Amino acid sequence: MHFGSKKENGSGGKKVTGDSSAMNKQFRIAYFEMDSVAAKFHLAKDFQTEVISKEEAINTEMNNRGKAIQQKINFYQNEAQAGKLSQEQSDVASREIKGMDDEMKNRKQQLDQDYNNYVLTRQNEIKTKIKLFINEYNMTKGFTYILSDDPGLFYYQDSAYNITADVVKGLNEKYKPVKKN
């Protein structure tokens, strides 16, 4: 009975379908080291420089605002100690300092949001450039998969399949930095 059934194959009657040329194709995987690309891809290095510059600008602005608030506080404290502030003037001074502090917090929040949006946009731009390059690169290489090796992700890789140097070289050839005058 068992041998007389009309099953297509030994997998419970399910027929395997698919492109036979794809099934006969050699399965090849390559990888590139993302930390090396980040360290050597000129666009990524320029991005890091821009990020540091933006962080410094935010810190400078916040420090300047903090100093301005502290100067106001010191001024009003000196005035109060000299007996030159009435209760009404002291209330006005407190509201002014609170307003400056609130303004500083709002500005910091806006700067942080702008910074985070900028970083996310630029990171996506870099990822897109890497992906487009990998797609173009693979047109002639014929890998089934090309993986990005983030540190600690893989425990063993055969360095024969490491295409990091090709990726960095190709990305840098395509990237033309904008000259700043």
With cut-offs at 50, 70 and 90, classify the pLDDT of residue 118.
Answer: very high
User: The dihedral of CA 76, 79, 81, 87: what is its sign?
Assistant: negative
What's the pLDDT score for residue 162?
Answer: 87
Q: Look at residue 124 in the predicted model and tell me its pLDDT.
A: 95
Report if residue 180 sits inside a domain.
Answer: no
Domain contains 151:
yes
Paired tokens of 135: 């797609």
Residue 20 in domain: no
Residues 6+ apart with CB under 8 A from 122: 47, 50, 51
- What percentage of the chain exceeds 90 in pLDDT? 68
CATH number at residue 113: 3.30.910.20
User: What was the pLDDT predicted at 15?
Assistant: 47
pLDDT band at 2 (very low <50, low <70, confident <90, very high): very low
User: Does pLDDT of 8 surpass 80?
Assistant: no
Residue 11 lies inside a defined structural domain of this protein: no
Q: Is residue 16, in this structure, part of any structural domain at all? A: no
Query: Is 109 domain-assigned?
Result: yes
Percent of the chain with pLDDT over 70: 83
147 membership: H or E segment, kind and range: strand 145-149
Q: If we measure between CA atoms, which residue out of 41, 33, 61 comes closest to residue 161? A: 33
The pLDDT, as a whole number, for residue 59 is: 97
Q: Is residue 83 a part of any domain in this protein?
A: yes
- Chain centroid to Cα 12, Å, comes to 48
Greatest extent of the chain over all pairs of C-alpha atoms, in Å = 110
Q: What is the DSSP letter of 10?
A: T
Q: Give ∠ CA 138-141-144 in degrees, rounded to 5.
A: 70
116 neighbors 74 (Cβ within 8 angstroms)? no
**Dihedral angle of Cα 48, 54, 59, 64, to the nearest 10 degrees:** 150
Cα–Cα distance for residue pair 101/151, rounded to 1 Å: 42
Q: Which two structure tokens, joined as six digits, stand for 137?
A: 């690169």
C-alpha 35/C-alpha 42 separation (Å) is 13
Q: Which residues contact 68 (CB under 8 A, 6 or more apart)?
A: 100
The domain tally of the chain equals 1
Which residue segment(s) compose the domain that 137 sits in?
Answer: 25-174
Q: pLDDT, tens digit, for every residue of 152-164?
A: 677 777 788 889 9
pTM, 2 dp: 0.73
